[in-house]
Amino acid sequence: MSNLQIIVNVAVLLVFVGILYVMNKKHVKFSNRVFAGLGLGIVLGLGLHFIYGIDSEVLAKTTSWYNIIGTGYVKLLQMVAMPLVFISILIAFTKMKIGKNFGKMAALILAILIGTTAISAAVGIFSATVFDLDATQILQGDAETERGQYIEERATGLAAPDLPTQIIELFPANPFLDLTGARSTSTIAVVIFSAFLGFAYLRVSRKDEATAATIKKGLDAIYALVMGVVTIILRLTPYGILAIMARTVATSDFSAIYNLGKFVIASYVALIIVFLVHLLILTLSGLNPITYVKKSAETLLFAFTSRSSAGTLPMNIQTQTGRLGVSEGIANFSASFGLSIGQNGCAGVYPAMLAIMIAPTVGINPLDPVFLITVIAVVAISSFGVAGVGGGATFAAILVLSALDLPVALAGVLISVEPLIDMGRTALNVSGSMTAGVTTARVTKELDTTMYNNKELGAQVTDL
């Protein structure tokens, strides 16, 4: 009987996949198809949850089959992440107007990314304090304990003895190894390696324009090829979201989520406040924040549902250049840097809230001014090198909690609500990088304000 039930469950998923495929054939807007996949996934997940229960063997085997589509989609995003970061940085150098604005542009992007992460940490602290979050109040089950043990084991391999050693770990001793994503700091290492190649290209362009033109032509061809792969993967998004949401909802422990509801609410309050900070930055730059919200909504929705900053990279760049009027060089830099530096949600809000929650368990007063300043500083510094596809928040939490000498295992108590919170964190990460790009373009006078203010949404990478 169980095998028949599994077959029926898989068949229902395939029927929903068929619905999304028909919507695609009828040229339904991409964002609407993503919403449809999200909604169908929630409905399917709820049905499986209430029919079988989370401890059912049938459900476990069913979700294994669902993972072919859901986890397979995530792995495809991971597959293209490093090549995309690598080529996007290089292309940024070939498209950048080199001059007095170059150093100002790079410094401003980094300042906004890191500065907003520090602000995010402060907001996370504020939210955790207002909601009186305390890790000692959360009951730990088997899943939380197992997750805590995993985080402890991972922390053993990640934690460097001191800050200088952590900084050294960012450098790419073997860039080919880092292109495989083998190290926890591989993303920032690839960014650094790409930047070196980019500066080398600039040297060549000053001395030998013909050779530089050949290099640029080759890079453009590789970029087109990688973007072709990205486009194929993006077409699969509604199906991936469908399977991921069905599995997530079906296997969620709603009682645990209810118990952790205060943390979920506190997290989203913090994320919304930081998003409002992004809009304030744009307003102070003389831009209409409502226009930004309208034109970035589709990209932020994709980030929210896919939970992948790296997977959102091509849409991030296209939104900046095709809708918000940012020059190609600045858009590529801000979007690529934003994958590994200053992720406001995963590397800012989240680890700061964890630190405030966990501090009382070791007798530290979370409201001690010195402790608060230390948390913000550590979060800002540790925001370098956070991975853009899966596990970035865990990595950031490990670095911050280890640096503060807090027990990292307690981060596992939130496993039940991780997927729910990670959606908002990822969307905020992407918004932070787009805000850095738009603001930098505005300050350096490379923003096409006519395009930005145009009421038409403009082109999007997902207009397939």
Give mean pLDDT in consecutive 10-residue pieces for the chain, a chain of 464 residues: 84 94 89 87 91 86 91 85 84 70 83 92 93 69 53 53 68 84 76 88 88 92 89 88 88 71 89 96 95 92 82 86 90 84 85 88 85 88 63 69 75 71 90 95 90 75 51
| Within a domain: 37 | yes
* 308 strand-pairing partners: 389
| Within a domain: 164 | yes
**Contact (Cβ atoms closer than 8 angstroms) between residue 313 and residue 306:** no
Is residue 273 packed enough to be buried (19+ CB in 10 Å), middle (13-18) or exposed (0-12)?
middle
Integer Cα distance of 172 and 192 in angstroms: 7
Integer Cα distance of 66 and 418 in angstroms: 19
Number of domains in the chain: 1
Query: According to the model, what pLDDT value does residue 276 have?
Result: 97
Domain carrying residue 205: 2-453
| Within a domain: 460 | no
Cα→Cα distances 342→111, 329, 345, 432, Å: 9, 19, 9, 8
- Taking only the tens place, the pLDDT of each residue in 350-396 is 889 888 988 888 888 888 889 899 889 888 877 775 655 555 666 67
| Within a domain: 432 | yes
| Within a domain: 38 | yes
CATH number, position 218: 1.10.3860.10
Residue 166 tokens, joined: 């952590």
| Within a domain: 461 | no
| Within a domain: 459 | no
DSSP character for 410? Answer: G
Integer Cα distance of 14 and 19 in angstroms: 9
Integer Cα distance of 453 and 380 in angstroms: 33
| Within a domain: 464 | no
Query: According to the model, what pLDDT value does residue 293 have?
Result: 94
